[in-house]
Each structure stands twice: as C-alpha cells, then as structure tokens.
C-alpha cells in the first residue's frame, strides 16, 4: 500500500446515524484524518435484515466510498461488521476495520470474572460473532448475548430521556442485572448514546465497553502499519453523505460531532 496519498480521507460507513459515534471517536483520537462518512438512512435498519442483504448493501457502499479515493475503510456498523466484513474485505484492495474485533478485545481486557454480556441488534447477536471472537481471545470467557431491537428507533426518535426508554432498558437488561457478567459490550452504534442511562440502570458492578474507542485506536494502528497516517497539522475535514433525509442527519451530526457540519449530501447508493 506504500505510495498512497496520506492526505486521502478515511471512509466510514454505517446503516444510518449511529456510526457518527465512531466517527466522533476517530476525530478525537486522529484529528488530522479527513473523513468521508456514508449513512444508509434510506435502508436503515440493517439489524433486522438478512446476511445476504447486509452484504449486498455493504458492497455498494464500499464501491461508493472508493469513488471518493478513500485510503482505508471503517465499518462503523456493528451489524455490517458482524455479517459483511469477512465476506467483502478480501475483495477490497484497501485496509478495512470493523467494530466487532476491537470491541471484543476491549471486553476481554476489561472482564475479571470472564463473564461478558453483549447487546446489539438481532442480526449481530444471532450471528454469534462476539462469542466467536471473544473465545478466540480467551476460550474461558463465556458470553451472554441479548438483542435489544427497540433501542435503535428510540435513539433515532431522540427519546433517550423518555420514561419509556427507562422501561425498555429494564425490559431488556433486567436479567443482565441479576447475572454475574462484569462487563457489557455496547454492540450497536446507537447504544453509546444510551450509555449514561444503561450505566445508571446496571450500576457500577458492570463496566460498559464502547467498541468505538477501541476501533479508533485500531484504525490508528492499521494506518501506521500501512504507512498511511496523515501527518498534516491543519484541521481535518469531514464530508458526510446519506441515502435519504440529509437535513435531519445534519442536525444530528451537529449535535454529536466536535466540528461544524454545513452540508450533508444525498447519494443514490443503489447505482454503485
Ligand atoms: N448500525 C447498526 C448497528 O450498529 C444499528 C442500526 C441498524 O439496525 O441498522 O448494528
């Protein structure tokens, strides 16, 4: 990969807006890296779709990102990382990283009891990928997975503080509270936005693991290994694209990213 343009952007994609939590972490840890973000707002959610569909969508997005001359790709979506990354990474002549392996590594480093909880979309949890990767790291770790499909629409609707949200957290996580897990992977892009509510509910005995943080660290390592780190000192740029509803996306992006977003462009990703 030597000789590539170090100033080229990093491509980041998600099924929608949740992946901005990963983009935010990349901006914090790698402030010199330019970012091209794609959120598939027309086709979200991925978490209730089949593997074939998720692979098909992910391939189209990668093709789109390649037209933006990205130097590496971050699959910020847990569902796409779980179901599509392994399928497509050998087809793509670019370094790629997802959120599952970094998240699992962080959980393995965090747990003391060897009992880890994982929450995510139905597709992610049913794929069993977190269990697989955690057991590769340490076969003695046991994993309890729980799909929490209603968390995503609640976050999308901006209802994180609503009393219904607290009821939903109780509904999905009550059994975890009673279990002996000591760390919980927030295995979905949207869940870090519920971090304080989940932490308040579960109490200090259970440590929450946000894969976004480890993914940004993993990206740094990947760029270093490929001699692709951006050495420029000026403020990096972020270009955001979606497949639908750019204005709504822009408002959300401005509420969570550390830089101002003036414009979000719409792209017909079906053409790629
Ligand atoms: N981005 C997805 C994930 O991290 C959540 C939203 C969806 O279901 O598409 O799994």
Convert the pLDDT of each residue in 140-185 to its tens digit: 999 999 999 999 999 988 899 999 999 999 999 999 999 999 999 9
CB 156 within 8 A of CB 190: yes
Q: What is the pLDDT of residue 44?
A: 94
Give per-residue pLDDT as tens, 20-64.
Answer: 999 999 999 999 999 999 999 999 999 999 999 999 999 999 999
Cα 51 to ligand 1 centroid, rounded to whole Å: 13
Beta-carbon contacts of 258 under 8 Å, excluding residues fewer than 6 positions away, are: 24, 27, 28
Pocket test for ligand 1, best of 16, 76, 84, 154 (most atoms within 8 A of CB): 16
**Which structural domain, as residue segments, surrounds residue 200?**
100-211
Check residue 3 and give its pLDDT: 47
Q: 233 C-alpha to center of ligand 1: Å?
A: 33
Total domains in the fold of the chain: 2
Closest atom of ligand 1 to CA, residue 124:
10
265 with 236, same domain? yes
Contact (CB, 8 A) for 124 and 79? yes
Minimum-distance ligand 1 atom for the alpha carbon of 79? 10
Tell me if 147 sits within 8 A of 129, measured CB to CB.
no
CA of 231 to the centre of ligand 1 (A): 32
Co-location of 204 and 217 in the same domain: no
End residue of a domain, out of 159, 187, 211: 211
Instruction: Answer whether residue 5 is part of any domain.
Output: no
Residue of 49, 99, 119, 152 best suited for mutating to test ligand 1, as the one with most atoms within 8 Å of CB:
152
| Atom number in ligand 1 closest to CA 40 | 9
Over residues 233-249, mean pLDDT: 91
Read off the pLDDT band of 4 (50, 70, 90). low
User: Does residue 198 fall inside a structural domain?
Assistant: yes
State the distance from the centre of ligand 1 to the C-alpha of 47, rounded, in angstroms.
Answer: 5
- In-domain check, residue 93: yes
Q: Residue of the nearest CA to atom 2 in ligand 1? A: 77
What confidence category does residue 68 fall into, taking pLDDT thresholds of 50, 70 and 90?
very high
pLDDT band at 5 (very low <50, low <70, confident <90, very high): confident
Asked if residue 1 has pLDDT above 60, the reply is no
Ligand 1 atom closest to the CA of 48, numbered from 1: 8
Minimum mean pLDDT range among 84-98, 124-138, 228-242 = 228-242
Q: What mean pLDDT is predicted for residues 102-114?
A: 97
Protein residue whose Cα sits closest to atom 6 of ligand 1 = 45
Whether 3 maps to a domain, the answer reads: no
For ligand 1, atom 1, name the residue with the nearest CA: 77
**In sequence order, which ranges of the chain are alpha helices (DSSP H)?**
20-29, 51-67, 78-83, 85-88, 100-110, 122-127, 129-137, 151-156, 163-178, 195-202, 211-225, 246-256
pLDDT at position 158? 87
The pLDDT confidence band at residue 85, using thresholds 50, 70 and 90, is very high
The Å distance, Cα 143 to ligand 1 centre, comes to 20
> Is there a single domain that holds both residue 79 and residue 47?
yes
Residue 139, in any domain of the structure:
yes
Domain boundary among 165, 191, 211: 211
Residue predicted with more confidence, 157 or 264: 264
Q: What is the pLDDT of residues 183-238, one digit of tens each?
A: 999 999 999 999 999 999 999 999 999 999 999 999 999 999 999 999 887 768 99
Measured in Å, residue 232 CA sits from the centre of ligand 1 at 33
Q: Which residue, 211, 237, 256, sits at the end of a domain?
A: 211
The contacts of residue 98 (CB under 8 Å, 6+ apart) are 74, 75, 80, 81, 82, 85, 215
Residues with CB under 6 A from ligand 1: 14-16, 18, 44-47, 77-79, 120-121, 124, 152, 188-190
Ligand 1 pocket: which of 25, 40, 46 to mutate (most atoms <8 Å of CB)? 46
Residues labelled catalytic? 77, 188
CATH number at residue 91: 3.40.50.1860
């Amino acid at each position: 990969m030597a000789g590539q343009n170090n100033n080229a952007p990093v491509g980041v994609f998600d099924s929608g807006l949740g992946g901005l939590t990963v983009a935010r972490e990349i901006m914090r840890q790698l402030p010199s890296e330019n970012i091209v973000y794609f959120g598939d707002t027309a086709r979200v959610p991925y978490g209730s779709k089949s593997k074939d569909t998720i692979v098909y969508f992910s391939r189209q997005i990668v093709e789109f990102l390649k037209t933006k001359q990205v130097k590496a790709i971050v699959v910020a979506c847990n569902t796409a990382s779980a179901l599509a990354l392994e399928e497509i990474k050998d087809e793509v002549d670019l370094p790629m990283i997802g959120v599952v392996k970094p998240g699992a590594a962080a959980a393995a480093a965090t747990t003391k009891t060897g009992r880890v909880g994982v929450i995510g979309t139905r597709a992610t949890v049913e794929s069993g990928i977190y269990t697989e990767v955690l057991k590769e790291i340490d076969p003695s770790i046991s994993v309890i997975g729980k799909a929490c499909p209603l968390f995503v629409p609640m976050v999308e609707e901006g209802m994180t503080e609503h009393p219904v949200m607290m009821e939903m957290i109780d509904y999905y996580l009550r059994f975890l509270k009673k279990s002996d897990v000591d760390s919980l992977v927030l295995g979905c892009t949207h869940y870090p936005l519920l971090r304080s509510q989940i932490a308040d509910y579960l109490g200090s005995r259970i440590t929450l693991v946000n894969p976004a943080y480890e993914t940004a660290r993993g990206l740094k390592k990947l760029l270093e290994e490929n001699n692709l780190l951006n050495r420029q000192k000026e403020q990096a740029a972020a270009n955001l694209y979606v497949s639908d509803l750019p204005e709504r996306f822009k408002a959300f992006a401005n509420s969570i990213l550390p830089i101002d977003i003036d414009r979000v462009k719409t792209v017909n990703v079906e053409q790629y």
